[in-house]
Amino acid sequence: MLIREMTVEDLPGVSALKYALTSWMVASVQAQEVRFRNQPAGSHALQLVAEVDGVIAGVGLAALNLMTTEPNAGGGFVQVHPDYQGRGIGTALWEPLSAHYRSLGVKRAMGWGRDDEHTQAWMAKRGIARGASSRFSAVDPRELPPMPEIPPGVTLHSAAEVGPGPFYTVDLEAARDVPGDMPFEAAPKEEWLVRHFNAPDYSHEASTVAFVDGKPACVTEFDINPLLGRGWTGATGTLREFRGRGLAKLVKSVCLRKAAELGVTQAITANDYTNAPMLAVNDWLGYKVIATSYTYLATFGDA
């Protein structure tokens, strides 16, 4: 087994690992390359792979979390291919990653993991606490309930029609209300453009914004991997003053119909189990639960 820093040439193998490990994986190799090449310099990210007989058997990341107001916060993960679990690969990755967190002065680091006995036992052995739970759910966008009526004063537009501005405006505010174990902040606009809006998987045709009396009020953003026929809702958010009007149901109904026209046969989303309004919207649209995950939080008292 060889533990080494990740290179761009590793991304096809890393993608194969992630597709095998998680049923909700959508991101294409090309989209992952954009994220790999554009890690924010201030995050001081350490990205590692575990190689076994020339195969990428594990992958890990440790970095400062720049998308939270919590001081000295980190974010990352350790993932091991199902065929290689139980061989100490996760531990071999975690040791240099945890040392990197300490070198950065991280007090608390958050990642996501599957809801299974193996993951929970591995985390507990290292004193990593289980946090909030989220559900992953999927729907066939070709089979949706009838389109909701569009209220007076509401207009709907795609990202292709209006550009990034309205989407970032709503993201910036709505991100602050995302439930979870750390407060969440939207990325700076230039980073958001590179790693998100202008990334290869982002669908400017399906991503939809609702304007109310000319003001951007609600967005849903959608990525498509045509090779898999899968799509991913990256974010759905409504400005506080416009909540409770059914706008999320409206923009998602439009977005999913466009996704179906673009060849998507499975649309996937993730929601914190405490986010009752969004869960209700997705249940109405016909989403069915396919998996559950937890956040996991490691503390470093000696940082």
Residue 303: per-residue pLDDT: 41
The residue ranking higher by pLDDT, 225 or 184, is 225
Rounded CA-CA distance 12/19 in Å is: 11
The pTM score is 0.92
Rounded CA-CA distance 163/114 in Å is: 35
DSSP H or E run through 4: strand 2-5
DSSP string over 242-269: GTTSSHHHHHHHHHHHHHHHTT-SEEEE
Residue 152 has pLDDT above 90, yes or no: yes
pLDDT tens-digit profile of 92-137? 999 999 999 999 999 999 999 888 888 999 999 999 999 999 999 9
Side chain identity at residue 48, one-letter code? L
pLDDT tens-digit profile of 259-303? 999 999 999 999 999 999 999 999 999 999 999 999 999 999 754
Residue 88 has pLDDT above 90, yes or no: yes
| CATH entry 3.40.630.30 includes domain 2-131+295-299 | yes
DSSP string over 102-144: HHTT-SEEEEEEESSHHHHHHHHHTTPEEEEEEEEEEE-TTS-
> Mean pLDDT, to the nearest integer, of 187-214?
95
Is residue 77 within 8 Å of 109, Cβ to Cβ? Answer: no
Is residue 131 within 8 Å of 110, Cβ to Cβ? Answer: yes
Please give the mean pLDDT across all residues of the chain: 94
How far is CA 271 from each of CA 55, 124, 229, 248, 258, rounded to the nearest angstrom?
Answer: 33, 24, 21, 14, 22
User: Where in the chain do CATH 3.40.630.30 domains reside?
Assistant: 2-131+295-299, 138-292
Residue 186: per-residue pLDDT: 78
Residue 286: per-residue pLDDT: 97
Please state which architecture CATH assigns to domain 138-292.
3-Layer(aba) Sandwich (3.40)
